[in-house]
Amino acid sequence: MTFNPLTEKGIPLEKQLRNWRELDVEPLDPDATDPYTRCRVIVMNGIEIESIMFSHHMARTCPDPEVKRQLAYTRYIEAQQQKVVNWLLPPIASTLETTIAYEQVAVDLTAWIARMEPDPYLTQAYEFGVLEDFDHLYRYANLFEMIERRKAEKVVDGLTEVMPGRPTKMHHRHPYDNVRDPYDRNKVNPLSRLHALTVMSAEQQTMNFYMNVGPQYMEPIARQLYVEIGMIEQEHVTHYESLVDPGETWWERLVHHEYNEVYLYHSFMTQEPDPKVKAIWELHLNMELEQLRVACDLMRRFDGREPEEVLAPELPAPVTFEPNKEYLRHLLDTQIDLTTLGAGYVRDAHERFEKLQEQIHGGEEPPSERVIDMHRERFGTEYRIETEGPHPVKSLRQPEDKR
């Protein structure tokens, strides 16, 4: 059965407001939760935060008091949705445990989107980025065992492998080389817009998260690793946001934000095994349908265009959390040595890249390398989860696998 968000009926806006009791959701049980349920929570938190911040930015450029009030009302509801979603996270999870889940999201969400993306230039952007978050997962997993004496397999549960990706120290590029070319809003497949918005929102939340939690640790290596990876997440936001056509009008962008929320809540509702969480996805879906209808009305009034001109006629195939191990191994095998030059990709280090590398590393090994060395010193080996065999790149294999 096809689901057309433009004709489905939602919950009237004035009925969307919830009281404190309704907002007080029971958090997930960390020992009994599917890791991908936690991943869906993390994605939807990032999506709701983007919708709030987007609405604030739009309001700041909006001279019409009636529209400003309308935006303020919907934004208040979005803020309630964000609380409900993010307050599902298990309260006893440590910052590092949540960090590992954030990187698992970046890996399996971006890999899935890369597999589904119809435009080859956009696919390349996701394939490039995913190998970096894949490496972050490995660095944080080593830190996790070192300072908390716990293993990342408890968090990712064998669904996502943990091993070196493109080495983190190579992610520090000149900022000019993080700017990609945008898609063309008049030609782009509607699905590509949704993909770009989703990955951008998820990376933005990761950037915000590391900016805030990084200084909570006492151990110098932990503080340093959050500085280093925090800087890279900002590069990732630059990389992904530059894919979006800057010529989209505010109304068009508003409609896309609401449509994407509908798409993702609908996607996650259909695959959620936890009944309490599923009920939240369903409730929020029904809220977003009405928020979308209101946004479409604004677009007709102020942009003089029909939303059908820019939106997909029906929801694309649901965004799915599932293992992407073979696909990631294929990317490791073929794209690990890529870097960027201008809006394109190259295999060789170039002058601008090397200059920045020299400046940022100052002749020393960065925290992302030292964390692995320290782990090897203390445990005799590094932490990995290689469920599908030795690393596909021979030089990145463990010593016992190199033979």
Contacting residues toward Fe ion, per CB under 5 A: 48, 51, 78, 81, 106, 133, 136, 203, 233, 236, 258, 261, 288, 291
CB of 210 to Fe ion, least distance (A): 8
**Residue pair 83/23 in contact by the 8 Å Cβ criterion:** yes
Q: Which is nearer to Fe ion, 62 or 390 (CB)?
A: 62
Nearer to Fe ion, 36 or 210 (CB): 210
Q: How far apart are CA 261 and CA 281, in angstroms?
A: 10
Measure the CA–CA gap between 227 and 132, rounded to whole angstroms: 16
Query: 51 or 324, CB closer to Fe ion?
Result: 51
CB of 70 to Fe ion, least distance (A): 13
Rounded to whole angstroms, the Cα distance separating 38 from 23 reads 19
To Fe ion, the closest distance from the beta carbon of 137 in angstroms equals: 7
* Cβ distance to Fe ion smaller for residue 205 or 291: 291
Contact in structure between 206 and 136 (CB atoms under 8 Å): no
For Fe ion, the closer of residues 106 and 159 by Cβ is 106
Q: Give the separation between CA 51 and CA 204, rounded to whole angstroms.
A: 12
At residue 217, φ and ψ (nearest 5 deg) are -85, 150
Residue with tokens 């934004």: 75
- Residue closer to Fe ion, measured from CB, 106 or 255: 106
The answer to whether residues 315 and 3 touch, using CB atoms and an 8 Å cutoff, is yes
**Minimum distance from residue 401 beta carbon to Fe ion (Å):** 25
Q: Which CB, 104 or 291, lies closer to Fe ion?
A: 291
Closest approach of Fe ion to the CB of residue 284, in Å: 6
State the nearest-atom distance from the C-beta of 228 to Fe ion, in Å.
11
* Tally of CB atoms within 10 A around 148: 13
Q: How far apart are CA 187 and CA 245, in angstroms?
A: 11
Residue 4 CB, nearest approach to Fe ion (Å): 17
Q: What is the DSSP string of 170-237?
A: GG---GGGGPPPPPPTTT--HHHHHHHHHHHHHHHHHHHHHHHHGGG--SHHHHHHHHHHHHHHHHHH
